Amino acid sequence: MSFARYAQNRDFSAAVTFREALYTLPLKKGNTKEQTVMSREEVKILMNLPNPETPLGYRDRVLFSVMYASGARAQEMCDLTVEDVLHNDAGDVILNLLGKGRKRRRVKLSSAPSRMLDAYIKKRGIETRSACCVFSSQCHPNMSVSGIEEVFKKYIALARKENPTLFRCHEAYNSMSYAGIWGFTECYKKHFGS
């Protein structure tokens, strides 16, 4: 295409012919991989790996649960603040997520992830700090997408060590990386509901 634009300034009629010929060529399609999802047992293993007795393990377990239950992307979890955690009359948590294109969407969590998230916010002592990010890293007040990726990589490697015959690490990571952590949510919803 760039040559066609260049040639257009030299010999317009030849450039038009060349450009039209380019448009008749079929575009090469890239290889598309079939998206894989984790089995129910693999999801259970991954969800149970974080140790809730440690601060980071507790954060990771709540993060996994909320991401699975909401279908949220990593960036949406990074941007989640205390004021984005709403409650309906029944006491269920409704997340006000800031998604792609800076569009807001609301997602209701089921009761177990709702209780976990409320307890986590209370334990951190941030329930009155509306602008505070719900999930923080060790060094920063909020997590980054790469930080969340590292958390998942850590637990996938651990799961692979503990369950080498069951846990298909490469497939699980590929399914996560498709949509920003990502294929897991579909698997979680399919097996556990939302």
Using one digit for the tens of pLDDT, what is the confidence trace for 99-152? 888 889 999 988 888 999 999 999 999 888 988 889 988 888 888 899 999 998
Residue span of the structural domain in which 5 resides: 1-29
Helix axes of 183-192 and 40-48: crossing angle, nearest 10 degrees: 100
Copy the structure tokens of residue 88.
């309906």
* Residue 138 and residue 60 in one domain: yes
Summarised one tens digit per residue, pLDDT across range 157-188 is 888 888 776 665 444 444 454 444 444 545 44
- % of the chain with per-residue pLDDT over 90: 22
Q: Residue 118 falls within a domain, yes or no?
A: yes
Domain annotation covers residue 183: yes
DSSP state of 34: P
Yes or no: say if 123 and 62 are a contact pair by the CB < 8 Å rule: no
- Residue in this structure with the two tokens 């490697």, named with its chain if needed: 157
| 21/62 same-domain check | no
